[in-house]
Amino acid sequence: MTGYCRGMESAPLASGRDADVFVIDDRRVLRRYREGGDVAAEAVVMAYVASLGFPVPTVHRAQGADLVMERLDGPTMLSAFLAGELDAVETASCLADLHHRLHALPPRLSDGGDVRILHLDLHPENVMLTSRGPVVIDWRNAAEGPADLDVALTAVILAQVAVEGAHPLASSAATLLDAFLECVGGSALTALDQAVARRRTDPALTGTERERLDAAAALITGRR
């Protein structure tokens, strides 16, 4: 690992599809993308939304594939939901509120209008329930565009789990999807086709996950 992170050989604190998170000390963690890349753009977006009061981890250092950030306390929203600490309505309401708060911010690069800052991966595993409230992590996909696309992508991600019958969280995801669609109303349908198309090009998805996208879209449409 680069800089003061070189030589860190402890097991990851957490691992996602394309990155691992390591503990540096009681205040900081290192997230490293396994296939390399550049975290600069991600760090800039995080710093920008943080300056406007949106809850994200503090970024201490960004270089190459390494992002050194604030170490957050508390569980993920998914863990709290599965443990019964949050019910489906509370979880969905929090997700919807985070979308609303993010999309109320002025865009950084665009002139405004219908263009907003989008997270594009805002689901319960990317929200930490900390002592200072919900904090949104993993901004690698962040971009600017129509707010409804962000909302629709959250619905698609939930629906993909719900339609995978063998998935242990399928039933929980379906319940949460219903609650989320109730919270956001028709905005999840406005950009549904665009969200499915974008999700289909996500390199992190497996072929089987891509095959379930049409069923996920049909589930969302049917629920509404």
pLDDT in tens, 142-193: 999 999 999 999 999 999 999 998 899 999 999 999 999 999 998 899 999 9
Asked if the model's pLDDT at residue 9 lies above 90, the reply is: no
Residues of the chain with CATH 3.30.200.20: 3-70
Select from 41, 217, 30, 57 the least CA-distant residue to 133.
Answer: 57
Structure token pair of residue 206 = 């497996």
Give the end-to-end CA distance of the chain in Å, rounded to a whole number: 48
Fold held by 3-70: Phosphorylase Kinase; domain 1 (3.30.200)
Mean pLDDT (whole number) for 4-19: 65
- Given this model, what pLDDT does residue 4 score? 44
- Do the Cβ atoms of 64 and 38 come closer than 8 Å? yes
Share of the chain above pLDDT 90, in %: 80
Query: pTM of the prediction?
Result: 0.92
DSSP string, 32-57: EETT----HHHHHHHHHHHHTT---P
According to the model, what pLDDT value does residue 7 have?
44
pLDDT the model gives residue 10: 67
